[in-house]
Amino acid sequence: MNRMRPKSIAVFNSNDIYPISADSVVPFEQHRDIFYLSGADQEETILLLFPDAMDKKHREILFVRETNEHIAIWEGEKLTKEKATEVSGIRTIYWLKEFDKVFFDLMTEADTIYFNTNEHYRQAVETRTREDRFILACQQKFPAHQVAKSNPILQEIRGIKEPEELELMQMACNITEKGFRRLLGFVKPGVYEYEIEAELLHEFVRNRSKGFAYPPIIASGNNANVLHYLENNKACMDGDMLLMDVAAEYANYSSDLTRTIPVNGRFTKRQKDVYNAVLRVKNEATKMLVPGTLWAEYHKECGKLMTSELLGLGLLDKADVQNENPEWPAYKKYFMHGTSHHIGLNTHDYGALKTPMKANMVFTVEPGIYIPDEKMGIRLEDDVVIQEKGEPFNLMRNIPIEVEEIEELMNA
C-alpha cells in the first residue's frame, strides 16, 4: 500500500476451481498473491486495498463467499466473517455478493485501479483466469480510470522473504530431507521410478505437507537427459545414475531439491568425476549469491565455471571454446538451462531479476551436466538465502550430497 499512487485501488482475486470433465475438478490452489497479502486460502475471495478511502474501514477489505449449513455439510466449513478477520488481520469483511455495490462506490473516490496481471518471465498461460475476467469487466465499466500494475510491487516485496517465510521454507526443506534419506535405503536395481515417487509422497504427506511442490522428476539412466521428464515409469537399472528433482511444499511454500545417485549404491570412476564437477560448480556458484550480484552476470560466470569443468572431463576441447557462438556458448551442449531462480510461494517465484540481488532473497543453485552418449545426466540443487554479509545460508545444508556420504547411506 505504501508503494501505490495517491487515490488508487488495488484488487486481487482468488484462483478459479478448474474442471477436468464431468463433475471432476482439479484440487483448489490459491492464487499466491492474494494468499501472500491476506492469508486467505479459499476460493471466490477478493482482496481490495484503498489507502486513501474516505471511510477508514474501507482501506482494507476482504470479500468472502457467504457460507451456510448446506455448504458446510457438502464442502466443509468456510470462512465466517470473524474467521476471515482472524486469518487475515483485516477488520472489514463483506460477503462476495456485496462486491459490485461496494466496489462501484469506492471507484467514485479513486483515480487509478491497480490490475494484477501475470508478468512472470516464465509465464505461458492461455487460460482466462478469474483475474483476467475481472480486468476485462473493470475496463468496460470504468473506462475513465487510469490503470496501473501491481506486479512490479509484488516482484519487489515478494522477492525478499520475511523471517516467518524463511521458517516455512526451512520446514519444507526439512520434510524434503526426510524423503530423500528414506530413498537412500530404498533405491536398488529393479526398483521402478514410480515406486520411488510413492515413497517420497508417503514421507511428505505424513509430515503435514500437501505433497510435491511441483511435478516430480524421477529419471533413471538416459531419462535424466530429458530436463522435464515426468513419466516416472521405467525400471532403474544396475549401473545407471538416478536423477531426482523432487521436493515438498509446506503451508504453500516450496522447496526445490535435486540429487543424483547411483542405482546400485556405488559410483563408477566416471560417474564420480562428472558428479564432483557438477558439485564444484554448485559450490562456487553459491558463493557468488551475495547482495549486489546481477542475475545475468552471475549466469555468465557460472558458464565460465562449467566450461572449465567440461574441459577437465574431456567433453569440450579448447577449439570448441575458441570457436563458440557467444549467443550459445560451447558449454550449453552439456548444460543448457540456468543455474538459479527465485523460490518461495511459487517454485519459480516472484523476485526482481534485472536489479542487484538483496539480502533475504532465496535462490536455487542447480547446475547439471547431461551426456546422452553416456546415458547419464547429473544435476545437483540446493535452496539458499542471500545474507547481508558472507556466503548464503543453505536451507538444504543437512541433505546428503557428498559422494562418500551417499554411498555410505545407500550401503548401510
Cell numbers that stand for 230 in this block: 515426468
d(CA 54, CA 75): 38
pLDDT tens digits, 95-107: 999 999 999 999 9
Proportion of the chain in helix, strand, coil states, percent, rounded to 5? 35, 20, 45
pLDDT for 396 equals: 98
Other C-beta atoms within 10 Å of 54: how many?
9
Q: Is pLDDT larger for residue 180 or for residue 72?
A: 180
Kind and range of the H or E run holding 265: none
Mean pLDDT within 38-63: 98
Mean pLDDT within 137-164: 97
Q: Please provide residue 328's backbone torsions phi and psi, each rounded to the nearest 5 degrees.
A: -145, 80
Residue 74 has pLDDT above 90, yes or no: no
DSSP conformational letter for 105: H
Mean pLDDT within 148-159: 97
pLDDT for 43 equals: 96
Cell numbers that stand for 267 in this block: 559410483
pLDDT for 404 equals: 98
pLDDT tens digits, 279-288: 999 999 999 9
DSSP string, 4-35: SPTTEEEEEEPPPPPEEETTEEPPP---HHHH
pLDDT tens digits, 195-252: 999 999 999 999 999 999 999 999 999 999 999 999 999 999 999 999 999 999 999 9
d(CA 394, CA 163): 15
pLDDT grade, residue 44 (50/70/90)? very high
Q: In what order do the strands lie in the sheet with 46-49?
A: 92-95, 60-64, 46-49, 8-13, 112-115, 146-149
The answer to whether the beta carbons of residues 256 and 340 sit under 8 Å apart is: no
pLDDT for 68 equals: 83
Q: Pseudo-torsion of CA 232, 233, 236, 237, nearest 10°?
A: -130
pLDDT for 208 equals: 98
Alpha helices (H) along 75-189: 81-88, 99-107, 130-141, 151-159, 163-184
pLDDT for 94 equals: 98
pLDDT for 128 equals: 93
Residue 77 has pLDDT above 90, yes or no: no
Mean pLDDT within 45-62: 98
Residue 73 has pLDDT above 90, yes or no: no
pLDDT for 67 equals: 85
pLDDT for 70 equals: 86
pLDDT grade, residue 307 (50/70/90)? very high
Residue 370 has pLDDT above 90, yes or no: yes
Domains of the chain: 8-158 (3.40.350.10), 160-410 (3.90.230.10)
DSSP conformational letter for 291: T
Mean pLDDT within 81-86: 97
Mean pLDDT within 86-90: 98
What does the mean pLDDT of the chain come to? 97
Helix axes 163-184, 193-205, angle to 10 degrees: 140
pLDDT grade, residue 381 (50/70/90)? very high
pLDDT for 141 equals: 97
pLDDT grade, residue 257 (50/70/90)? very high
pTM above 0.75, yes or no: yes
Cα–Cα distances (Å) from 276 to 32, 135, 281, 310, in that order, read: 37, 50, 9, 12
Q: Which residues contact 195 (CB under 8 A, 6 or more apart)?
A: 186
Q: Is pLDDT larger for residue 412 or for residue 105?
A: 105
Mean pLDDT within 65-80: 87
